[in-house]
Amino acid sequence: MTEKFEWEGRAGRSWADEWRRTDRSFSALTRQLLDAAAARPHSRVLDIGCGAGEISLALASRRPDTQVVGVDVSAELLAVARSRSENAANVAFETGDAAQWSRAGFAPDLLVSRHGVMFFADPVAAFTHLAEIAAPNANLVFSCFRSAAENTWASGLASLSPGGAGAPPPPGQPGPFAFADPDYVRDILTRASWRDPTFEPVDFPYIAGEGSDPVEDALSYFLVIGPAARAAAQMDPPTREDYIARLRAFLAERVEDGRIAFGGAAWLVRAQAPA
């Protein structure tokens, strides 16, 4: 789930199938990201790693006079995004890698991403390119996970996996927690000519399950998306059966008020393009 080709294939298909539950899991963080993105005037928005389009569509709805372009490498996710955008005249979705993507005549004054920037193979080169295509003084606003230890869904699931099966790459390598260290990210942005990077810690409920059976809802979600899915895919059938039983028990202990919500921990990062 950490390489571009995986997003273009298996991972992209899985996330496209699960876009509703993925949007749900990030819902509390999304509100804060959107508020931060809308804090300054903008007229041209680039949504980096737009996925199924929630951020692009929300920004387009808030400002009908704004032109929004969402870019992602996954054709499956973009198909979902386009299907959700039929009535949004000011938003477009394009297949491409934001590390090289550009559109003639389009210089975004806001670049935004919800957890879409941690997978760049060469983050300095990618953010340098983004600074080059951005309008002068453009605003960059993105969210990324803090450490796995601070995200109880990740640390909890990892504790159940035998031998660390399915564990995500460590910070500094492309993957969910690549940008956990703010000093590392600050160095990347500074080297890429982004000015005055700031890091705001945001804690949010990562909603994994709800409805009539929140345990089975969360179980089926985790077995398709994220570290539990990666771990289960590497197991032989008996080991997988035991793992799923332990995962079900782990989730059952965390039902509260009809839902399962883990502690989510993110950075809300802001910076400015060169003048």
Burial-class residue 256 by CB neighbours within 10 Å (0-12, 13-18, 19+): exposed
Tell me what the mean pLDDT of segment 244-259 comes to.
95
9-56 pLDDT, tens digit per residue, is: 466 678 888 999 999 999 999 999 999 999 999 999 999 999 999 999
pLDDT at residue 160, rounded to an integer: 86
Residue ranges of the domains in the chain?
A: 4-147+171-207+264-272
Q: What is the pLDDT of residue 114?
A: 97
Average the pLDDT over 247-257 and give the result.
Answer: 96
Question: Residue 186: what pLDDT?
Answer: 98
pLDDT at position 156, please?
A: 86
Q: pLDDT: is 167 or 7 the higher one?
A: 167
Hey, what CATH topology would domain 4-147+171-207+264-272 get? Rossmann fold (3.40.50)
Q: What is the pLDDT of residue 13?
A: 75
Q: What is the pLDDT at residue 102?
A: 96
Given a cut of 50, whether residue 200 has pLDDT beyond it is yes
Over the chain, what is the mean pLDDT? 91
pTM of the model: 0.92
The pLDDT of 252-268, averaged and rounded, is 96
Cβ neighbours of 258 (radius 10 Å): 10
Quick one: pLDDT at residue 8? 47
Q: What is the pLDDT of residues 89-117, one digit of tens each?
A: 999 999 999 999 999 999 999 999 999 99
For the stretch 124-183, pLDDT in tens is: 999 999 999 999 999 999 999 999 999 988 888 888 887 665 566 677 788 889 999 999
Quote the percentage of the chain above a pLDDT of 70.
93
